[in-house]
Each structure stands twice: as C-alpha cells, then as structure tokens.
Amino acid sequence: MEWIQQLVNGISLGSIYALIALGYTMVYGIIKLINFAHGDVFMLGAFIGFFAIARWEMNVFLALILAMALCAIIGVIIERVAYKRLRNATRIAALITAIGVSLLIEYTVIFFRGASPAAYPTVFETSNFEILGVKISTQSILILSVSIFLMVLLQFIVHKTKIGKAMRAVSHDADAAKLMGINVDNTISATFAIGSALAGAAGVIFGIYYTRIDPLMGVLPGIKAFIAAVLGGIGIIPGAMVGGLVLGVVETIVSALGYSLWRDAAAFVILILILIIRPSGIFGKNAREKV
Amino acid sequence: MLKVNDIDVYYGNIQALKGISLEVNEGEIVTLIGANGAGKSTLLKTISGLLKPKRGSIEYLGSAIDGKAAQSIVKAGISHVPEGRRVFANMTVEENLELGAYLRNDRDGIKKDMAHVYELFPRLLERRKQLSGTLSGGEQQMVAMGRALMAKPKLIIMDEPSMGLAPLMVKNIFNIIEMVNKEGTTVLLVEQNANMALSVAHRAYVLETGKIVLSGTAKELQESDEVRAAYLGGL
C-alpha cells in the first residue's frame, strides 16, 4: 500500500513537471528555441501567487488565475523584447540570450526582495483520507485535478480553436502558415502566453505543495521539466505530459528506496540515457532535420 | 488586375529577379514558364509577400501590395499554392481546408465553399479525416489547391502544381485549374510542364535567369521556334 501512496506523490510531483515541460515543448515546437528562462517564469508565478494569497488575501483560485494571467504577459514581453529579433539568428545566439534572460529575472527578483526564502501560506487544511487503505492528502488531489484540468484545456485549445490550429500550422511550416493569412508573430506570442501561464500555474501549485519558495527555485524544476520535455520528445505536447509524469514517479521511487540524496541525479541519469538510447524521445519520430 | 512593375529581388547578395514586369488581367489564366532556377518561384513568393522586392512595385486591383505582410495580401484576395504543396502533414484534410479559410468569419460561406471543394475533389471528401501527410502526392496537391480556394481568392497563384505527379493526375489537376478559372477566379500559373501550361493558358511569359525573355498569347508561344526548342521538346 505504501507503494501506491508513493505513486500518488510521484504523480503529483510529475504533474508539476509536466505543466512546466509543456511550455518548453510548445515554444520549442514553434521557434526551435529552448527557452531557459521558462523555469524563472515558473518562479515568478509562485511569487505572484504568494503575494496574492499572503498580502492581498485572495482566494487560491483567484490567485492561480492572476498568476497565470501575469505570467502570460511576462512570457509575451520576454519573447517580444529578447527573442523576436533573433528569429533569423543562429540557434546558439538565441540559446545564450535565453540563459541571459533567465539570469536577469532571477537577479532582478533578488535585487528587489532579497534572496531569502518565503513560506507559502497554508491555504488548505491538510487532511488525509483513506481509500482502500491508501492515505491520500487532499493537496495531492487538488494538484492533480488542477493539472489535469489545465492539460485538458490545453488539448482543447490546441486542437479545437483557431489559435490552436494556427499554432500547429506555424510549428509545422511557418511560410505555408503565412500563405493561409496566419499572423506568425501573433501566433508565436500566443504560444509564449499559454506556455508561460501554465508555468505560472505550476509555480502556485508548487508553492502550495512544498510551502517554501525562493528566487532561485525555478532553476532545478526548470531543468527537470526540460528533461521531461526531451524524455517525451521535444516539440510534442502529449510527450511533455508523459515525460513529466514519468520523471516525477521515478524521482519519488528513488527517494522511497532510501536514496533521497540521489533524487536529483536520477533526472540527469534519465537525460543521459535518453540521449544515448533514443534522442528523439518516447513519442518522437526518428525525424531528420528538414533541409 | 495584377501588375508587376520592373521589380528586383535579392537573396542576400544574389539577385534572383532582374527588372521583371508582367500583367495579369481579370479572368485570365496566365502562365509563367522557364527552367529550374529561372526565378519563377521567387516571383510568386514576392507577389504573395514572403519576399520583398528591392526595387519596383506590385499593384493589385489598383493599390500597391509590394512589401505588405503576407496575411494582408491573402486578405486582399490572392491565394498562393506553394511549390511542393506544403500541406500541414500533421493535420487532417479537413483541418487543412479550415486553415485555408483562416481569415474568414462567415461560417455559412465557409461551409458552402468546403462543400464546393469536396465537389471539385471528391477524393478529398473520402479522406477528410485522414492526416494529409499520409496522402499521395496528387491528393496532397488537391489539398493544397482546395486550401487555397477556401480563402475565396480573386487571384490564385500556383507554383508547379504538376510537379512529381503521374500523367493522369496532371491532366486531372489541369482540368480543375480550368474549371476554377471558368468559375471566375483569375489564375497565375508557374509550370515546368510547358506543354500542359500553354494548352490551358490565355497568355504566357517565359522567364530565363531572372528576366522575362518572351511573352505573348499562349498560342503564339506554342508556335514560337525558341519556345518549342527550349521547352516543348524540339521542333
């Protein structure tokens, strides 16, 4: 029974990774950029949620929505200011810029509020309930249901709405999309907005679950979410979801086996293995670079 | 309807088009023939706004469109069927057609036009839920043409619709080009298959290394010795 409990914990953690990984994978899909500032948008989301709940005494769900909205705007600003002008530059230039943006966000936050961690306010009485002898916390359920809801919503947006179809068209062939009358710049902005909103949501959920947030909290989850995206096949949306969940479960199992100090290493071992065995990821086709 | 005035287009430092001028009148099928690398695709891409001319102007229905964004050119009524079809392979046939109508909001009109596209290409109706990447080349060409028609264009420009297709399919595609034209859409057609192109076109231009070297009615060009020697396979 303890194993099922661990599995539930792993899925909760994994769904946070999955939410962040979605932003990585969507942005990569559309402009072939690994947006290393994405983990910092996650951090900003956590802080926005923190201020909303602790200072402005907002309801958790309103705080979640506020964090998502502001992160969406931040994501669009990052793209317009930093990445847009590099669209025809080499990939390595864009990548270095992304790392620069990441450091800029981290140290701007530290500049204004210091590097000390903050404790997230308790928003729910943590109660556990038992199903068939498995103890499950209400928080795990909350995290899981919010994540699942957001992922379903994303699938709906990507497959059923006009902007979602435009996003898929641009990521497949930007010039052909232009010939359909699709505004490529706006579509890229929308992608950043949606990806960043999901990261913002992940930030708030992370804060509620782990209660401790700080300005550098985005670094490790950001890298792990990137690993999750690569694991699932970068650029593939369902891949990011599955990759996140797998990574979360593996980490929890490693901890449960008594190797909790090796937890972070597990993610990197997975990255190395996937790069050796199947670089295109679980869902990736063995696609060659288009010439 | 469309007037290209003396345009120069460059890729970086390489000049691809040198002082090209051409004209397409309403209701016509005009074809542009020429060898690989003559600049045919470059000209079409410039008309549809993917490339910008360094010099010269492009006028469409009386207003300048050179240098405008591709989406406003689509909105003005020019649809481009690109070389190599460029269908959205990871989407279904129907989704491809819907994207063709991306700028339109008249649901009923879109529905009607989609029904019309399926009438023109019954094969697409059978395959509407299939991913377009899984279709044959000819079927993909149909998707690309149907997609362009979904924008309800006044002028449709087509880049080598016969490329890589079986002879029967080529015939089929050219029949539909004529049909679309008879329904009132003006056509600018780029082709390497000069025989086919001249047989459906009203007028034609011959492009060689970035310059127009010959122009006239399709009939004149079919009979011209130079064209027959260079493009129609001998005298």
pLDDT tens for A168-211 read 999 999 999 999 999 999 999 999 999 999 999 999 999 998 88
- Give the closest-approach CA distance of B224 to chain A in angstroms: 35
B97 and chain A in contact, CB less than 8 A: no
| Domain end residue (candidates: B110, B130, B152) | B152
Same domain? B62 vs B172: yes
Residue B216 β-bridge partners: B204
Q: Are B198 and B31 in contact (CB under 8 A)?
A: yes
- Give the closest-approach CA distance of A176 to chain B in angstroms: 6
pTM for the whole structure: 0.89
Q: Which candidate, A34, A42, A32, places its Cα nearest to that of A226?
A: A34
CA A180 – CA A59 distance, rounded (Å): 43
> Looking at this predicted complex, what is its ipTM?
0.91
Cα-Cα-Cα-Cα dihedral of B119, B120, B125, B130, to 10°? -160
B82 and chain A in contact, CB less than 8 A: yes
CA B213 – CA B3 distance, rounded (Å): 17
Same domain? B206 vs B147: no
pLDDT band at A139 (very low <50, low <70, confident <90, very high): confident
Helix H or strand E segment including A152: helix A138-160
Residues in chain B closer than 8 A to A291 (CB atoms): none
Task: Compute the Cα dihedral for B146, B61, B58, B194 and give only its sign.
Answer: positive
pLDDT band at A131 (very low <50, low <70, confident <90, very high): confident
User: Which CATH number does the domain housing residue B216 bear?
Assistant: 3.40.50.300
- Give the closest-approach CA distance of B225 to chain A in angstroms: 37
Residue B206 β-bridge partners: B33, B214
| Domain end residue (candidates: B105, B136, B152) | B152
Q: Are B24 and B190 in contact (CB under 8 A)?
A: no
Q: What angle do CA A234, A238, A239 make, to 5 degrees?
A: 35
pLDDT band at A122 (very low <50, low <70, confident <90, very high): confident
Residue ranges for chain B with pLDDT beneath 50: 235
Q: Which residue, among B102, B129, B132, would best test binding to A if mutated, counting the most A CBs under 10 Å from its CB?
A: B102
| Domain end residue (candidates: B115, B135, B152) | B152
Residues in chain A closer than 8 A to B70 (CB atoms): 178-179, 181
Domain of residue B61: give its range: 1-77+159-235
Q: Which candidate, B170, B226, B214, places its Cα nearest to that of B32?
A: B214
Contacts of B112 (CB under 8 A, 6+ apart): none
Contacts of A94 (CB under 8 A, 6+ apart): A31, A33, A83, A86
Angle of helix A184-210 versus helix A162-172 axis, rounded to 10: 110
Helix H or strand E segment including B83: none
B153 and chain A in contact, CB less than 8 A: no
Total number of domains in chain B:
2
CA A88 – CA A106 distance, rounded (Å): 27
Same domain? B146 vs B191: no
- pLDDT confidence of residue A289: 47
- pLDDT confidence of residue A28: 93
Asked if B50 and A172 come within 8 Å (Cβ–Cβ), the reply is no
Same domain? B181 vs B230: yes
Residues in chain B closer than 8 A to A180 (CB atoms): 74, 99-100, 102-103, 147, 151
Indicate the average pLDDT of chain B.
Answer: 93
Q: Report pLDDT digits (tens) over B207-234.
A: 999 999 999 999 999 888 888 888 776 5
CA A281 – CA A278 distance, rounded (Å): 6
Q: Report pLDDT digits (tens) over A9-53.
A: 899 899 999 999 999 999 999 999 999 999 999 999 999 999 999
Contacts of A89 (CB under 8 A, 6+ apart): none
Residue A130 β-bridge partners: A135
Residues 150-169 of A with CB under 8 A from B: 162, 165-166, 168-169
By residue count, chain B amounts to 235
Asked if A179 and B99 come within 8 Å (Cβ–Cβ), the reply is no
